[in-house]
Every structure is written in structure tokens, then in C-alpha cells.
Amino acid sequence: MKTFRKSFIKKKLLGKASAKETFKESFIKVKPLRKVSSKAQSAMEYLMTYGWAILIISVVLAALFQLGVFNPMTFAPKAPPGSCQVFRPNGPYTTSFINLEGICSGELPQYVAQFNGQWSSGPYNSESVIVAPSEPISGTNVAFTIAMWIKPSSVQNFSHSWTTAVFSLNSYQALGIQNNCLPNTCLVLHRCNSADTSSGALLPYSIFNNEWYFIAVSVNPPNYYWYINGVSSADTNGNTYSSSSGATIGTQFAQCDSNAFNGSIANVQLYNTSLSASEIQALYQEGIGGAPIDLQHLVAWWPLNGNANDYSGNGNNGQINNVNFVSNWYNGYTPP
């Protein structure tokens, strides 16, 4: 009898404890769920209240980033047009006592030249081009160097070997790009006359759209030395140079067997000597706003910083045809 009563009391107590524990457990489980539900509701209310504002701010920030507002180069010092030039006290093409004057420390330019890539078979109409009417280099079998910065927006890719020309000394010599030899890039000096062949090099260096590159060719007949971003990419042999007339930036002279360039060009330098590999590397290291490195042999210098003037002191000023000078050019440029 005592045993039965103890057992009954124990079960009763256990039953009470179990009920209490069950209630506590259920209360604990329900309470956090109510808290989570409340937080989720608050979050939804927050998003509904401020969601449009957050979306608009995100779109504006993305647009500003695309425009280069957050690019650190946006706030870098800029050299105004004509801030640096070669002074020749004895007149054009003289070499005595020549020196650089102005801000020539390699600051970024305020502007670069932008070309539209349009091509015409006749005189320059809608095509964008800069024409220097005089012949900067004359003679045959002469040494010369062309160096510049380019940013292609698109490079034509045809089945034939036409060149997208960026600079032309005359109708027979056009420095340009061919991308029908992809995945790499061909730099060429293309000749219009079918009796001549193009001198060029298949470079182990790809050129992509919307990025800035420093390209150069240094010619010491019959040797051609090709460079991209200061690196000697290839050496080739080619025909000797024969002068004709004029010079153009953005397409080949007289639109002969070439495509017009679509993109931006800056700091075009022309020398009547074959610059060495170390000199080409030094030009690249100066960056897109760098000054000429060999004043004694400098023939023409078109910074294209807001105009087409020749700042070599030799008076080879260019005539502008449908070329824009833009200040927001920084995207795709990485300082050396």
C-alpha cells in the first residue's frame, strides 16, 4: 500500500513537472519566432520606405563610376594645351640651343583627340583626320621613328590585309593595326602601292578595345623595330622609305588601302632617327603626357592636347577635320 502511494505521488509530480517543462519549451520556441517575424516585417517596411532611394543612389553611383568620377586620375594635375613646347631660337629645323619650355614634367593632358572611324574614298569629308600639309621627313632610305598613344574603340577585322591606320607619312607609309592575325596583333607600316609589300610584325601582345597603349616603330633601313608599351616585340626587314607629300593622323594619306581609326590618339612624336630600345622605353615610362626625348632629331610633335598644333618648333601644324578633343579620356589608362 505504501509502495502504491509512493508510486502514485511520484507519477503525479512527474506529470506536473512534465507539463510545466512542456509549457516552458513551447513558450521559448514561440517567443523567438515572434521576434524573427517582427524583424522581417521591419526589414520589409524599411525596404518599402527607402528602397527606391537606395536604387536611385546605386544607379547614380554606377553612372559616376562609368564617367570616371571616382578614377584617381580625375583629380591629378592636368597640363593645359601648349603648356610644353620646343624652343628653337634660330628657327624651324635648327638644332642649336634648342630646349623645352613650360610644364614638361609628364603631367596628364587635359584633352586627347577622338576619331570617328569613318572612311571615304575621295577627299576628306565626314572622315575624321588631322592633316599636316608639309612633308616632315624627306629623302629615301632614311631612318625615322613614330611613337604615340592609342586607344582603339573598335578595330576593323576584314579578310583582306587592309590596315586600320593611325598615322601616315605619305601614301606609301602608314603605321597601323591589323587584327586579322588574331589572337595577337599585327603592327604594320602599310604601303599603298601594290608593287610594294607591307612591312610588319605579328606581335605576341594583344591589343584590346577601350584600353590605352603606347606603340612605336623605329626604322633603321632595312631594319624595323616594333614596340608596344615600351617592350620590343619584334624585329623585321622591309623596303626602304621613299618620301612623297604630307602626313596624316587617324587614317592613311589619300585614303589608300586603309581603314580610318576609331578611337583616341595622343602624343604623336616623329623623329628623323631610329630611336634605341632604351629611348623607346624611356618615352613609355614618361606616360601619356611625356615630352620628346631627343630634341636634336625631333621633326614633329603633336600632343593633341586640345588642338593639332606641332610643338616641335618646326611649324608642322595639322588641319582638323571632324576630330573631337575630349577631356574624359582616363578609362582604360594605367600609368606606367
Residue 212's contacts (CB-CB under 8 Å, 6 or more residues apart) are 149, 150, 151, 264, 288, 332, 333, 334
Of 305 and 107, the one with more pLDDT: 305
Q: For 40, phi and psi rounded to 5 degrees?
A: -60, -40
33-91: pLDDT as tens digits? 455 467 667 766 666 676 667 777 767 666 655 555 556 677 788 899 999 999 999 99
195 has a pLDDT exceeding 60 = no
Residue 112's contacts (CB-CB under 8 Å, 6 or more residues apart) are 149, 151, 264, 265, 266, 288, 304, 305, 325, 326, 329
191 has a pLDDT exceeding 90 = no
Highest mean pLDDT among 30-44, 117-131, 153-167, 226-240: 226-240
Residue 83's pLDDT is: 95
pLDDT bin (cut points 50, 70, 90) of residue 137 is confident
Residue 57's contacts (CB-CB under 8 Å, 6 or more residues apart) are none
- Cα 204 to its chain centre, rounded Å, is 19
Residue 151's pLDDT is: 95
Q: Where are the beta strands (DSSP E) in the chain?
A: 78-79, 84-87, 99-102, 108-109, 112-116, 129-132, 144-154, 163-170, 173-178, 185-190, 199-203, 213-220, 223-228, 231-237, 247-249, 258-259, 262-271, 298-302, 319-321, 324-326
Separation CA 292–CA 300 (nearest Å): 10
* Residues 230/293, Cβ–Cβ less than 8 Å: no
Lowest mean pLDDT among 14-23, 87-96, 130-139, 210-219: 14-23
What proportion of the chain, given as a percentage, has pLDDT over 70? 62
- Cα 78 to its chain centre, rounded Å, is 17
**Mean pLDDT across 115-132:** 71
Separation CA 118–CA 108 (nearest Å): 28
Q: Of 166, 161, 197, 167, nearest to 180 (Cα)?
A: 161
Report the mean per-residue pLDDT for the chain.
Answer: 77
Lowest mean pLDDT among 77-91, 129-143, 172-186: 172-186
Residue 220's pLDDT is: 87
C-alpha cell at 331: 578609362
Separation CA 238–CA 27 (nearest Å): 90
Q: Of 152, 121, 129, nearest to 215 (Cα)?
A: 152
219 has a pLDDT exceeding 50 = yes
118 has a pLDDT exceeding 70 = yes
Residue 10's pLDDT is: 47
What amino acid is encoded at 33 in this protein? L
C-alpha cell at 32: 523567438
